[in-house]
Each structure stands twice: as structure tokens, then as C-alpha cells.
Chain A
Amino acid sequence: AQSVAQPEDQVNVAEGNPLTVKCTYSVSGNPYLFWYVQYPNRGLQFLLKYITGDNLVKGSYGFEAEFNKSQTSFHLKKPSALVSDSALYFCAVRVPSGSARQLTFGSGTQLTVLP
């Protein structure tokens, strides 16, 4: 069975500082990894994904994530946080041969950027 863990329910960071939202995964085989963001009263928005290739993936709104196979991690990062980045962030994982049911979401991390 595959799983994804977001160890932090809440992350607070000052505006202008770098931010990291952590994600670790457990799958059999090579994973597809995704990050989504959810603003209040909105659906999830796709940020970025790792399928294959370069371990550093760049996505929307200046976010990036680094795939680390040895540590089974896919942490989301941004060099300089904005107040508008405050939202709920979800990591998700799936194996290429799996079904849609095997797109497993983490429990989410609430990011608050303080002005």
C-alpha cells in the first residue's frame, strides 16, 4: 500500500523568508508526486509534479519541489514567502501503473505567512 505523510499540520513563516512544506512518501516502485494548494472555499489547484528527470521541479507561483529518492521525500519550497501564499497545501503520490484510486493525498499542511 502506498502512503504520503505531511508531518506538519501548521507552518508559520515571516513574509520574505524562505518556506518549506514537508512531504514524505511510501510506495512500491517509482512514484509520481504532486503538490496542490487549496485556498479558503476553493478547490485544489495544481502546483507542480514530478514524473521523471530532474529532481528539482519548478511550478506555479514561484514554488519548487525537490524529489529525493533516498529520503523518499518531496518537500515544497519557495525562496521568499508572500502573505498571499497562505493556504492549505497537499502532497499526493501515485505509482505509474496504479489506478486513480491510488492517487493518495496527504492530510494537508496549513501555511501561514505573517506580514
Chain B
Amino acid sequence: DAGVIQSPRHEVTEMGQEVTLRCKPISGHNSLFWYRQTMMRGLELLIYFNNNVPIDDSGMPEDRFSAKMPNASFSTLKIQPSEPRDSAVYFCASSPFAQGLLGGEAFFGQGTRLTVV
């Protein structure tokens, strides 16, 4: 398996533009997570899905952020409109176990480095 695949690897956009980050989880994993990593705040969980259903989105910072998982093999994280403070590395991760039930480890993608200028 190729692991969790994220695209693009790098994204530079102007403030106010819409940004869409994409993720393909590992086949057979039923949980998917979006994290944001910054120097100031470390790793933050934004949202997670179980069996394609959003379970907890309380980490999504504002209404400008939205995430979807239309099927088991694809998820998107959208920021509209983007702001400079959204600049960070965004990670997608998947897990074979529903979080909270078992101690299943998460497998991370390589991340998307977003820069909003």
C-alpha cells in the first residue's frame, strides 16, 4: 500500500482565495483525521471521520474551514476564504480502528504545506 496520500505537497495562495487540500487514506482504514501543525500550537486535530461520517469537528477553527468525505477513499479540507494565519502544515491520517474503541495507531500522510500571502 502506498500509505496515506495527500495533495498538493505545497500550496501558495493569496489571501481571500479558496484552498482545497486532498487526502486518500489507506485502503480498508475506516477512520480519517485532519491535523494542523504550526510552531506555535503544535499538532491540532481539526476533524475526524469514522466510516465517512464526521464524528467530531469541534477542532475546526472557523466557519471558513470545511471538510468532506464523500467516500471511503477520498477526503477534502477546504478553506474559504483563506487568511495568512491559516499558513501551516496540514496532515491527513487514517486508522484501521475507530478511535476511542481500541488503541489503533494513526498513519500520517506527508502533509500539505500551505502558505497564504
Contact = CB atoms under 8 A, between A and B. Distances in A.
A45 B93 CA distance: 10
Closest 4 CB pairs of A and B: A43-B108, A100-B99, A32-B103, A51-B103
Interface of A: 32, 34, 36, 41-46, 49, 51, 90, 94, 96-103, 105-108
B4 A105 contact: no
Interface in B79-112: 91, 93, 99-100, 103, 105-111
B56 to A, nearest CB: 5
Nearest to B106: A46
Contacts of A45: 108
A105 B33 CA distance: 14
Contacts of B33: 100
Contacts of B107: 46
Interface of B: 4, 31, 33, 42-43, 45, 48, 55-56, 58-59, 91, 93, 99-100, 103, 105-111
B43 A100 contact: no
B58 A101 contact: yes
B105 A49 contact: yes
Given A43-B4, A44-B91, A101 B45 contact: yes
Given A99-B55, A101-B58, A49 B103 contact: yes
B43 A90 contact: yes
